[in-house]
Structure 1
Amino acid sequence: MRSLSTIWLVAGREVRTRMMTKANIVSLAVMLAVIVIAAFVGNYFLNRDEGPSALQLGVSESTVVLTDALAAAAAQQESDVDVVTMTRDDAEAALGGGSDAELDAFLDGAPAAPTMLVADGADPELLALVTTATQSFAFADQIRELGGDPDMFNQTMASAMPNVESLAGEDGARGEGESDFDGPTYGVAMAMTSVLLFALIGSGSLIAMGVVEEKTSRVVEILLATIRPTQLLAGKILGIGIYGLFQVVVLGGALAVAASAIGLMDGVEIDLGASLGLMVLWFLLGYALFALLFGGFAALVSRQEDIGTVTTPLMFLLFIPYYMTMFMVPNNPDGTAVRILSQVPFFAPFMIPVRQAFGGLAGWEMPLSIAIALAAIPLLIWIAARVYQRGVLHTGGRMKLSEALKG
């Protein structure tokens, strides 16, 4: 009981030291501002890239029969056109700028060969649409004159297509390497994974720098006169973990709120609350795995200048899973190599959420990866505690890892 209170005392000290400083408050505010500004800038460019407004097409009484054919042609070409019945005088006034009405073209004359009146040059999209509609009308008119039924002909043509039969069977079993890709969910998963990566890098670096600072200032010798090394390491990891979790929740939540507020998530069926909860879960597991190594291995050096020699390999241990996730999972989310790596504790926090976005995650894989990660934590605790106990009071040059692990 006394041991837990000591750990919490150290953790509280770390939280106050890291979270309540002016520099941290300013940096967090800047990151929140960047997220909000980036969301609005992205929304601006998305809206600017939206398709043009509907084409305005006027038709006379003689060409009004083309309305249905024009609508069918617009749907086929994925165009948007508004057809308005008007007189030629009104059309000329609108095209000449003498009217408040906006008009792109006006059709008059025979439906099979109408005259297309425009202000200057004909819009290529509108011209192609009118051409398709008039050809369709003329084709249907010829069938009618030959005694046929145009509607029946169109139904017959629409149903004239091959029936696809898959060797995979009627159950639609997925082949190796195929996936049920969900684009928006993949985007959210990659955004959350990126937040996770930078949160782990920041938290791990803080732990390593804190350990070396205490060694350099000799504060650790005073602290170890009253508490055990394992309590000091555990309190430091717990305190900075609380700070890191706070950052993850605030930044991830800000990202989700900003995306929802400006409508980026409209029509997208994603449970942002569940996605944020999943990110918190993998942050906790990933933090437990990596923080132990950062805290233990940092005790091997005694100067800030040497800290890179122990943190660089650990940074690679973070970047390798992240980049392998980006390149391997989209190409083959169900591949054997991806399945195996997803169960490796250092890869699971990055691969599992992204594989889930591709629909390539079996129901048993996430629980198994969580169980393996939890089973690996006690081993890492033993390694980190052993290295920290033997290295934290070591002065002078860098201590070799083999020496710290010796019995």
Structure 2
Amino acid sequence: MSSPVWMVTKREFRTRMMTKSNIISLSIMLAVIVVGAVVASFFLDRETEGPSSSVAVEQGVTDLQPHLEQAASEQGLALELSTLTTDEAEQALIAEEDPLDAYLSGDPSAPRMLVAENADPAVVELVTDAVNAYVLTEQIGALGGDPADVGTALATAAPQVESLVAPEESEFDGPAFVVSVVMISLLLFALIGGGSMISMGVVEEKTSRVVELLLSTIKPTQLLAGKILGIGAYALFQIVVLGGALTLAVTALGLTEDIAVDVGAALGLLIVWFLLGYTIYALLFGGFAALVSRQEEIGSVTTPLMFLLFVPYYVTMFVVVNDPDSTLARVLTFVPFFAPFVVPVRDALGGLPLWELGVSIGLCLVTIPVLIWLSARVYQRGVLHTGGRMKLTEALKG
């Protein structure tokens, strides 16, 4: 790398890195990630906590206890069992804090179930299953059989289902979907931010006439290359910091235990595609921004490029995520402007063969030199142009 390019790169990186607005915005985004992960952990923990009930039995009904515990285990119900007298149970049923759900007394085969007001259907089902199991056990024992053997036979008594045609896998993978959306959203944020900074920087230098002083000592292509590299280094820094913070947050809170996606590997692939995607789009933003001379005209150049960014983002989110193995997803994998969004998502969802990844990266690498030639040609001819907007066809003339 030549010295002028390196000097411009350091200037651009330092300028973006040390501004108060960038420091504040990055700090806010880090705080949002941490707070969001904590809030998500809180709600996930609440969702994973199963229902619970408290049941007390009279001394003469204690034979029901093992059957109550077995039924609760089968129903996924956290059961708190205790042995109380009738007077103690009545007080516990109407207690203000942690009241008892039900009290069983009398005959274990037909117990009296006492509740405070309305019986909980889950508790009624629990007691019913326990009483049925108790009666069945007693009857088997009376006939001379072994209740344990009968229980084992009943547990294995189920039809063996076989399909002539293997069913299609249509199960929605929620965690993988979330990881995919977060990845491409981070990528979109970084590409839009980087492209906007490049465009504004190019036009600011033209408006202030600083570019004329710079071009007296360095070549236009060196100035453009340094600007793209410096802002790209800052955008990559943002991706690593925000993506790393998100990965650390969800890992520390134990949210990755049920996620089949390797979050670390997904982040690594995201960085690779950021580098490719940023190079492709930054060249366009930097070259085409030189066509205008005033800040008010930036939109006429950046709007089509923003559209070029949002189209692959939304197509990936609403089409590729739903069916990563579809024909459309496979075709878009080989389109350089779509690949930075499509490929990381297909990889996270397990729908990307290794050879497709290699071909996609190769096509992007072949496209970049063409874009370098295009953007350098436009930038060289447009950066010193003043007045109205320069037409693209005029900039491309030999």
Alignment TM-score > 0.5, same fold: yes
2:362 pairs with 1:371:
yes
Pairing partner for 1:105 from 102, 105, 108: 102
C-alpha displacement of 1:189: 2.6
Partner of 1:42: 40
Partner of 1:84: 82
Please, which moves more after superposition, 144-153 or 324-333? Answer: 144-153
Over residues 340-379 of structure 1, what are the superposed CA-to-partner deviations in whole Å (9 max), with x where a residue is unaligned? 1112112122112222232212222222211221121111
The two structures have a TM-score, normalised by structure 2, of 0.90
Partner of 1:171: none
2:55 pairs with 1:57:
yes
Partner of 1:159: 157
Partner of 1:340: 331
Long gaps (5+) in structure 2: none
**Cα 1:17–1:355, aligned 2, differ >3 Å: closer, same or farther?**
same
Pairing partner for 2:308 from 299, 302, 317: 317
Counting only pairs closer than 5 Å after superposition, residues 221-300 of structure 1 correspond to structure 2 as 221-268=212-259, 270-300=261-291
C-alpha displacement of 1:131: 1.8
Percentage of identical aligned residues: 58
- The total of aligned residue pairs comes to 397
Pairing partner for 2:176 from 177, 185, 200: 185
C-alpha displacement of 1:109: 1.9
The two structures have a TM-score, normalised by structure 1, of 0.88
SS at 2:205's partner residue?
helix
Over residues 161-205 of structure 1, what are the superposed CA-to-partner deviations in whole Å (9 max), with x where a residue is unaligned? 13323535xxxxx96xx4786432332232122111101100000
**Cα 1:288–1:336, aligned 2, differ >3 Å: closer, same or farther?**
same
CA distance in 1, matches of 2:26, 2:71: 53
Long gaps (5+) in structure 1: 169-173
Over residues 85-120 of structure 1, what are the superposed CA-to-partner deviations in whole Å (9 max), with x where a residue is unaligned? 44444433433549x986322212222211112233
SS at 1:167's partner residue?
coil
**C-alpha contact (below 8 Å) 2:94/2:100 kept by paired residues:** no
Partner of 1:382: 373
Counting only pairs closer than 5 Å after superposition, residues 105-184 of structure 1 correspond to structure 2 as 105-142=102-139, 150-157=147-154, 158-168=156-166, 178=169, 182-184=173-175
CA distance in 1, matches of 2:71, 2:385: 80
**C-alpha contact (below 8 Å) 1:70/1:130 kept by paired residues:** yes
SS at 1:395's partner residue?
coil
C-alpha displacement of 1:266: 4.4
CA distance in 1, matches of 2:170, 2:362: 25
2:205 pairs with 1:205:
no
SS at 2:337's partner residue?
coil
Letter of the aligned partner of 2:14 in structure 1? R
C-alpha displacement of 1:320: 1.0
Letter of the aligned partner of 2:256 in structure 1? M
TM-align CA RMSD = 2.6
**C-alpha contact (below 8 Å) 2:206/2:293 kept by paired residues:** yes
